[in-house]
Structure 1
Amino acid sequence: MPLRRIIGPIRELSESGKLSGLLLLLATVVSLLISNSGWSGAYLHFWEMPLGWPPLEKTAAHWVDDGLMVVFFFSVGLEIKREVLYGELTDFRQALLPMLAAVGGVVVPAGIYLAFNAGTPASHGWAVPTATDIAFSLGILSLLGEKIPPGLRVFLTALAIIDDLIAVLIIALFYTAELHLPYLLAAGGVFAGLALLNRLKVNMLPLYFLLGLALWFCVLKSGIHATIAGVLLALTIPTDAIEKLEAALHKPISYFILPVFALANTAIVLSAESVGELLSPLGLGIGLALLLGKPLGIFGATWLTVKAGISSLPERVTWYKLLGLGFTAGIGFTMAIFVANLSFTDPSRIALAKLAVILGSFLAAVTGLVVLHLADKADDSKVAGNGVIE
């Protein structure tokens, strides 16, 4: 009986989608606590410990970012492909609203960041606050349960998927090191082979994964970030296997890969000086871009699109609720921390960027919850007053 009382709530959290977000939050808190305890030295040393052998010797933290996260990006690619083929992005006109909202949610935060950091060595980090963490954002919406109309959840999902696609393109175009042509050509050849298998309707998934491993190695050595290999592999997977693979990967990614990523990438030693640095141009640029840039960009782009008659708001989605969604989309976390690792080489700057992402995401989450709760109260008042929601 006691065991059932423990397992029951955990299963309920898992089914509601809240557990993955809570695990990410828990992993972050645990990592920060250990990093600032008596075990700090051993903990930081563990993530910097070299593993593997030449030409694949990396630190434990790099294996998480360049290895485990490839699986996460593979799932992102599967989701993008599924939505384009037969999901919310199939109809171009239907996809236009979240598409333009996602662009606004990238351009405005980048602009805010550059307003603080243009012309400085930190300007290369402009893409850090442009990404939305889909797991955390949907987890926040799930906290409000049936108060959130389905249209708002679908809109956020479509927006976050497009946001992820933009993030992948940004990583490929702006965060690529020196290119090594032989490996790049080899990667192109392997990808062409995968595309041919798909064209010939070959359904042997182990063959795709074997070639995918070769693709990952070639992309890694080419200078392009290794996670791009995950997305490229996903685009070649047979359509009838997409949903099965997504279902199989959901738990390993949500309950292992992303929490391990959080543990590895939030090992930050805090001090009065580092906390004070949050008010520096780098800290303010990231924090304000997530907290204010995301909602301003998403709300503004959506408002212009609707007022121009190009598209319309989803059913039962009010402007107030859209604003709450915009704040929720300011939860950058996973992807933002990932881009922070690519943006800077100075460890102190990386640590500050991650700290700003964590704080900005937390404030965005709380603000989003408050605004969505108030929006629901406002809708209830209208229903009580005249029986309809305007």
Structure 2
Amino acid sequence: MKLTKLFKEFFESEKSTGIILIGCTLISLLLANSAIGSNYIDIWQTQFSGHSIEQWINDGLMAIFFLLIGLELEREIYHGELSKIKNAMLPILGAIGGIAVPAAIYIAFNYGTPEQSGSGIPMATDIAFALGILSLLGKRVPNTLKVFLAALAIIDDLGAIIIIAVFYTKTLMFTNLMYALGIFAFLLVLNRLKVRNLIPYLVAGVFMWYFMLLSGVHATIAGVLLAFAIPFGNGDEKSTSYILQHFLHKPVSFVILPIFALANTAIILNGDFGEILSHHYSIGIATGLIVGKPLGIFLATFIGVKLGLGKLPSRVKWKHIFGVGLLGGIGFTMSIFITLLAFEDATIINNSKLVILLSSLLAGLLGFTTLRLTLKKRK
């Protein structure tokens, strides 16, 4: 199976991003727990135009990240693994299982508690880390497995986006939402009129983001809507969608996500780890990511194949699917992002972030080890 130039670029950028994110996380943890820890944490809480720097990062810069996710999803639908329903079914089923089972496990531990709202936390997969760890296995990884994991993670993120829009909208300002959707409709008209210039899309996209922010629906949703309004054309290197996606890869991978990691992993490690890990929400997050993700992905794809709804990619065996399922338990970026929406208590947020980091680390190690033992070296 040959990989497209853009997919190779995407895969390689995710490999580098994963390594950089690990470095940024370690730096942030060290600084937060050093002699200058309070000053470092205060930097991210500095107010600018009515919002903290951390909020501008999470509501503003991350909208660009979601724009890139939307463009990647669009490409997969038109030209990638999701363009043919038979090929698309396996990662779709895997993503559904990988969302439903972790959520069910979390709810089982937290049903009826104030922390029940965190059920979306273990649903997410961090594309950068998952693909980054897979890339460390080199040429022994079949291209079909790379594409399966990429498609699975992208669909998983789409699920997270829908969950954010539906379940984490606390107050809805209907008028502002209508303004945002009106701008989206205007962009769709531009698309139908075959306007290929990026400038009107980007300018209108900023206004759509602004009204979405005021509406109460999380502003990052505007990034996804903008992605689907931008003309795809025939998908070649001259298409508007391709040009923007190609341009965004490096800023998102090497600027936006590292800044997000620095701002959101400033965790003070001064509590009793045993106590932190004993909370119901901690158990739900850890079990959901480490157990629920691989179990859900494996069972959903296995049942789907047995029912004839999909088929295993070439050179991929069930033990590889299980290994990829373990990598799916690396929540990190998206899990932390949902944590910030799900909880308001600073202690619970801090504890949840720590559990996400530890669970993602363990899931990554288990996934890497499983795939390294099960994938044969290629000469």
- TM-score per shorter chain, which class? over 0.9
AA at the equivalent of 2:44: W
2:210 is matched with which residue? 217
Give the superposition deviation at 1:15: 4.8
Aligned equivalent of 1:93 = 86
User: Counterpart amino acid of 2:347?
Assistant: S
Contact 1:274 1:352 survives alignment (8 Å): no
Indicate the larger mover: 220-229 or 80-89.
80-89
Q: Indicate whether 1:350 and 2:349 are aligned.
A: yes
Give CA deviations for 1:323-380 in whole Å, capped at 9, x if unaligned: 111101111111110000000000111111111111110000000011111112xx57
TM-score (norm 2): 0.93
Match of 1:24 among 16, 21, 27: 21
Report which of the two structures shows the higher radius of gyration computed on alpha carbons.
Answer: 1
1:254 corresponds to which letter in structure 2? S
Structure 1 unpaired stretches of 5+: 1-13, 384-390
Tell whether the 8 Å contact from 1:172 to 1:224 is kept in structure 2 after alignment: yes
Structure 1 CA distance for aligned equivalents of residues 116 and 161 of structure 2? 19
Aligned match of 2:6: none
Paired residue type of 2:219: A
Is the 2:13–2:249 contact (alpha carbons within 8 Å) kept by the matching residues of 1? no
Dislocated runs of 4+, deviation >3 Å: 14-17
Distance 1:134 1:184, change over 3 A: same
Aligned to 1:161: 154
Separation (CA, whole Å) in 2 of partners of 1:189 and 1:211: 11
Alignment-derived partner of residue 10 in structure 1: none
| Preserved contact between residue 16 and residue 142 of structure 1 (Cα < 8 Å) | no
Distance 1:216 1:16, change over 3 A: closer
- CA apart distance, 1:105: 0.2
AA aligned opposite 2:363: A
- Distance across 2 between alignment mates of 1:32 and 1:254: 20
Question: CA separation in 2, counterparts of 1:29 and 1:47?
Answer: 17
Conserved? CA contact 2:21–2:257, under 8 Å = yes
What is the root-mean-square deviation of aligned Cα atoms in Å? 1.4
Distance (Å, rounded) in 1 between the aligned partners of 2:56 and 2:356: 22
Amino acid at match of 1:29: L
Q: Answer whether contact 1:277 1:283 (CA < 8 A) is retained.
A: yes
Unaligned 5+ runs, structure 2: 1-10, 233-238
User: Counterpart in 2 of 1:322?
Assistant: 321
Shift of 1:223: 0.5
| Partner SS for 2:314 | coil
Q: Secondary structure at the match of 2:272?
A: helix
CA 1:249/1:168 → structure 2, altered by over 3 Å: closer, same or farther? same
Q: How many residues align?
A: 362
**Equivalent AA in structure 2 for residue 315 of structure 1:** S
User: What secondary structure, in the 3-state scheme, does the structure 1 residue paired with 2:48 have?
Assistant: strand
The alignment status of 1:34 with 2:27, answered yes or no, reads no
Does 2:137 align with 1:138? no
Query: In the alignment, what sits opposite 1:271?
Result: 270
For 2:112 and 2:187, locate their aligned partners in 1 and report how far apart those are by CA, in whole Å: 42
Q: 2:76 aligns with which of 83, 105, 120?
A: 83
* Residues 136-189 of structure 1 deviation map (CA, whole Å, 9 limit, x = unaligned): 101111000111111111110111111011111000000012111111111121
